[in-house]
Amino acid sequence: MTDSVDNEMLHKGRFLSLMSQNGWEFTSRVGSTGVVAIVACTDNDEVLLVEQFRPPVGKTVIEIPAGLAGDIAGSESESFAEAARRELLEETGYSAATIRELQTGPSSAGLTDELITFFEATDLTKVDEGGGDDSESITVHRIPRADLRAWLNQQAASDKLIDPKIAAALWMAGK
């Protein structure tokens, strides 16, 4: 993601590298080409959200479906749209007939070189249970868009964290 000419690798782990550029330390992903995030609404105007425990923050987080592109052996060159379709199905059990790229931007510009490409998924069909891969324990929620704010406030009141990318993705999709 970053121009490696001026970067010094301070440490390389299995999934992340700690880099330095002119004294600025930041992280870089290892083994992926980017991140995809999907705002998915059913034909009944329900927003699909996922819930999972996130060790870095030590809490359960409510999020839009998301994941890495190019991180599976043999599929390193998958397009971001393919990765978005795969992640949506894996996490929620829904397949999208239509997927539209919305925008790409940094996830935390002062911390990481990671860019997130947002997609809107429509014409959804439930084809599987979802819940993530073998390393994940994901709960899927279908929330009527009209009730979303109240539902998210209830989740926050029960000590869950709400990922602000939910609001950003809905805004990008014009919802």
Domain of residue 14: give its range.
1-30
Q: Are residues 49 and 68 in the same domain?
A: yes
Q: Are residues 90 and 154 in the same domain?
A: yes
Q: Are residues 164 and 86 in the same domain?
A: yes
**How do residues 115-137 score in pLDDT, each as one tens digit?**
999 999 999 999 999 988 888 89
What is the domain-level CATH number for residue 166? 3.90.79.10
**H or E segment to which residue 48 belongs:** strand 46-54
Gap between the Cα atoms of 163 and 166, Å rounded: 6
Nearest-Å Rg of the Cα atoms of the chain is: 17
Query: What is the pTM (predicted TM-score) of this model?
Result: 0.92
**How do residues 46-93 score in pLDDT, each as one tens digit?**
999 999 999 999 999 999 999 999 988 888 899 999 999 999 999 999
Domain count, the chain: 2
The single-letter code of the amino acid at 169 is: A
Sequence-distant (≥ 6) Cβ neighbours of residue 171 within 8 angstroms = none
